[in-house]
Structure 1
Amino acid sequence: MPVYEAVIGLEVHAQLRTESKLFCACSTRFGQEPNTNVCPVCTGMPGTLPVLNARAVELAATMALAVGCRVNNRNVFARKNYFYPDLPLGYQISQFDLPLAEGGAVTIDAGAGPRTVGITRIHMENDAGKSIHSQADNASFVDLNRAGTPLIEIVSEPDMRSPEEAEAYLRALHGIVTWLGICDGNMEEGSFRCDANVSIRPVGQQELGTRTELKNMNSFRNVRRAIAYEIARQEDLLADGGAVVQQTRLFDADKGVTHAMRGKEEAHDYRYYPDPDLLPVEIPQAMIDALGAALPELPAARRARFETALGLPAEAAAALTAERALSDYFEAAVAAYAEPRKVANWMLSEMLRRLNDTGATVADCALAPEGFAAIVRMVEQGAVSQKSGRDMFAALFSAGGDPEAYAREHGLAQVSDSGALEAAVDAVLAANPAEVEAYRAGKTKLMGFFVGQIMRATKGQANAKLLNEILAARLG
């Protein structure tokens, strides 16, 4: 029985973050009442003409440059013909022979070392509407608010060999589009989604197997699950002497299975031809150069710099570059207190815990990065205790303010004066002679008792490290 390998390619759709649609002035805002963000252009009324959104072109080209694509100075919109109730034009405006950009690559690491996934092309297109099927009403409804929303489709080469690699690639793209701010990346709302092309072939064979296209995957986890199921399904089919049929399949997240939706279309089935209502898009080289020069430091480059220049462990660097706002906040905090590892430890514990527990974002944090750095510095220098530092962060996260002033107002200053601590230690030991004798006889667990008594006497403000040193010396 042959051993098979998977061959996987992804078609990723990202909704461009524009105020208006691709070919009209209707709003792209999500969650509005059905069929309110519509006009004669996006609903396909006879006699209407599309007008291209220039901002969408800029955002699309920015993404193409970020992944190393060649942006074509001349690209053409085409009509992709098919019928569906939520497609009011009767065709989708997309690109075919002359797309926005070609080439490019993304480097991923799914645990087996770095791997490069090629990008075939990136093209612009408008989205369809949404069909809503109601069993209660025994009817179907169409909401055209999304119709005409600007998208880019990022088509990969079939370079991925496992569900884990596909997930890593999708996460990498998601990280880039959100880092650049060209897409909000919300998978539940459909502004970032993908289809997967999956086939298998005997290991060593160059010829590709028959592929299926998987749809209806609305999370990173479900992309991995759907692909894993489809690989196993195709292997079982071939092992039983059957043949894989080229088709589109839907993923059922509740059951964890895929099922056939329709036969897979080829390009000729859509009868592409240039859209006669839209002129070819001419992008000046000067504009492409300017967009390239304006690109920020991207997640992979910043992650590498955090490891090499700041000395952060790989996992910490990856976590701190998962989101641009978090990464920028960390950098600003390190600029205020040049102890990257200590600041990183607090970011990955206190900050991320707060964000995860409350559902807040970094933008919701009223404490300036400099204030966050001040809390870390005060704890590290012994000005306040670790607990007081955590309490200060919790209080100032939403309120903002000066941590040093807060510590003074709330009496959080840590007692680090050795003379004052020695006096407190001596007083507690003198008041508990039986416990001192028991400790010296071998009951060393009583150390916690002494620490607790002294902390109570100093209202919890004793410097724990200095306190333990003095206690150890006194108890012998």
Structure 2
Amino acid sequence: MSRYETVIGLEVHAQLKTQTKIFCSCSTKFGVDPNENVCPVCSGMPGVLPVLNEKVAEFATKMGLATNCEINLKSVFARKNYFYPDLPKGYQISQFELPICEHGHVDIEVDGEKKRIGLTRIHMEEDAGKNIHSAADNASFVDLNRTGVPLIEIVSEPDMRSAEEAVAYLKEIRSVLLYLGICDGNLEEGSFRCDANISIRPYGQEEFGTRAELKNLNSFKHILKAIEYEVERQIDVIEDGDEVVQETRLYNADKGTTHSMRSKEEAHDYRYFPDPDLVPLILESTWVKKWQEELPELPSAKRARFMEEYKIADYDAALLTSELVIAEYYEAASRAYGGEAKKVTNWVVGELLPFCHDTETLACDCMLTPTRLGELLHLVDDGTISVKIGKDIFRDLCESGDSPTEFVKAKGLAQMSDSGELEAMVDQVIADSPKEVEAYKAGKTKLMGFFMGQVMRLSKGQANPGVVTKLFQEKLS
């Protein structure tokens, strides 16, 4: 066991799903030509004035309410000053001393252990542009489409003690954002980004160690691996008698390592001061009350309800409520089926989610609708098809959207239940397997699986397992 305790704090930048940017009317649409969604305001031309998009304040407040934050009815925008080519004004409009939300928390669970992670603050800010480096042209370019796109930054307390806790926290934050409908949570496109502050200290020491900030983390897998690597790196540094340097490091996913990018700045390095072009934001308490009433059932509450209402395990409930579209699909399928919820759970978790993952399809876009999943389960229940056939045709149904009943009929997949036809196959298997029959009669009853497999081969998977099992038991008893 390591002598060192890991200390992790996370800064999440979530791009808000507004139609226009935070301080101008330019579109936030992703994937357009470089510098298409740009105007004098977001490109930092002299003499222009920013005007706050009211949806940004609403979305930030809703995230604060959903994560148990105190909502500051008065908040102030500040200028964060630094130079970088993709920051045309030479400063970023953010919030510093008076953010819109403070002192919240979310609850996570890792290996059956529940833990509360504190939130220091949630504040609004504008995104920077994007530098594009071209080896072919031996040049770098700046795309300002992303400049001024609205973000909220969600800053945690340094309450996490492992990479697994960090990933669980991030998944919970992402789920809340998706449930609220204020962010699409896409890590690869950068609309959900994370910076991780990592330090270590000897167990029992209250003082924090020197931290390193990790950037360039664009998947949960990379976040887990990057934190684990960085913790081991810092332990090696200390064990070698050196000191950890406060710096910003990048994660190289190909090598699984981190490397130094630059020294880590402190808040005073940015020379924050209130933005003179923006008056303080004053929220009416009636607005906050209205936004509170508009909050949906959140992931933690939905998980608890699923476990109670559908009698499913915590692990399954967590998977089914991880994204709102999955939870809505599951509930619709449960209503359509009307039978035991555990069966719907098994098919959604075991078949639908892997299909969606492999094909990068949202559950709501799957051609196999919840109603037709219920229809498929009824075909299994009434013996029309076996579970195996149902699973074999599942992906075809997801891609075609065909009625399961019509698909089974058209493909001739209906289960064979005629005892006369099946008896002939059973007799053939018994005749072809004298050693296995003798062993079965001697007490090796697990060989029933072998006999069943042989009949399934002869029937091309269409034999009714219940009828076949009964025939074997009668003939071999």
Q: TM-score, normalised to structure 2's length? A: 0.90
Aligned to 1:23: 23
Check conservation: 1:425, 1:454, Cα contact below 8 A. no
Give the paired residue count: 470
Aligned to 1:180: 180
- The one-letter amino acid of 1:258's match is T
Deviating more after overlay: 446-455 vs 199-208: 446-455
Residue pairs, 1:212-223, within 5 angstroms: 212-223=212-223
Q: C-alpha separation between the residues in 2 aligned to 1:66 and 1:449?
A: 56
Residue pairs, 1:109-120, within 5 angstroms: 109-111=109-111, 113-120=113-120
Residue pairs, 1:6-155, within 5 angstroms: 6-111=6-111, 113-155=113-155
Kindly state the Cα deviation for residue 372 of structure 1 after the two structures are TM-superposed: 0.4
Residue pairs, 1:353-392, within 5 angstroms: 353-392=354-393
Check conservation: 1:73, 1:284, Cα contact below 8 A. yes
- The one-letter amino acid of 2:150's match is P
Q: C-alpha separation between the residues in 2 aligned to 1:144 and 1:355?
A: 33
Check conservation: 1:436, 1:475, Cα contact below 8 A. no
Deviations 1:297-319 (A, max 9, x none): 22222222222332212222222
Q: C-alpha separation between the residues in 2 aligned to 1:166 and 1:460?
A: 45
Deviations 1:67-101 (A, max 9, x none): 11122111111111111111011110001111110
Check conservation: 1:210, 1:244, Cα contact below 8 A. yes
Kindly state the Cα deviation for residue 341 of structure 1 after the two structures are TM-superposed: 0.7
Aligned to 1:400: 401
Aligned to 2:339: 338
Kindly state the Cα deviation for residue 41 of structure 1 after the two structures are TM-superposed: 0.7
Kindly state the Cα deviation for residue 121 of structure 1 after the two structures are TM-superposed: 0.3
Aligned to 1:279: 279
Check conservation: 1:69, 1:103, Cα contact below 8 A. yes
Does 1:424 pair with 2:425? Answer: no
Change (3 A) 1:167 1:390: closer
Kindly state the Cα deviation for residue 250 of structure 1 after the two structures are TM-superposed: 2.3
Check conservation: 2:80, 2:94, Cα contact below 8 A. yes
Q: C-alpha separation between the residues in 2 aligned to 1:96 and 1:326?
A: 37
Q: C-alpha separation between the residues in 2 aligned to 1:121 and 1:137?
A: 42
Q: C-alpha separation between the residues in 2 aligned to 1:324 and 1:330?
A: 10
Change (3 A) 1:473 1:82: same
Q: C-alpha separation between the residues in 1 aligned to 2:165 and 2:448?
A: 53
Kindly state the Cα deviation for residue 45 of structure 1 after the two structures are TM-superposed: 0.7
Check conservation: 1:215, 1:248, Cα contact below 8 A. yes
Check conservation: 1:71, 1:101, Cα contact below 8 A. yes
Change (3 A) 1:363 1:446: closer
Unaligned regions of 5+ residues in structure 2, if any? Answer: 442-446
Kindly state the Cα deviation for residue 375 of structure 1 after the two structures are TM-superposed: 0.9
Q: C-alpha separation between the residues in 2 aligned to 1:252 and 1:430?
A: 62
**Partner SS for 1:108:** strand
Kindly state the Cα deviation for residue 177 of structure 1 after the two structures are TM-superposed: 1.5
Check conservation: 2:425, 2:458, Cα contact below 8 A. no
Q: C-alpha separation between the residues in 2 aligned to 1:122 and 1:432?
A: 68
Deviations 1:124-182 (A, max 9, x none): 00000011233343322111111001000000011111222222212221222123221
Kindly state the Cα deviation for residue 193 of structure 1 after the two structures are TM-superposed: 0.9
Q: TM-score, normalised to structure 1's length? A: 0.90
Deviations 1:316-344 (A, max 9, x none): 22221222211111111111223111111
Deviations 1:418-461 (A, max 9, x none): xx41x32455577899559887655776996788569857x864
- The one-letter amino acid of 2:390's match is G
Deviating more after overlay: 22-31 vs 380-389: 380-389
Q: C-alpha separation between the residues in 1 aligned to 2:246 and 2:456?
A: 75
Change (3 A) 1:396 1:231: closer
Change (3 A) 1:475 1:23: same
Residue pairs, 1:404-415, within 5 angstroms: 404-415=405-416
Check conservation: 1:127, 1:147, Cα contact below 8 A. yes
Check conservation: 1:414, 1:462, Cα contact below 8 A. yes
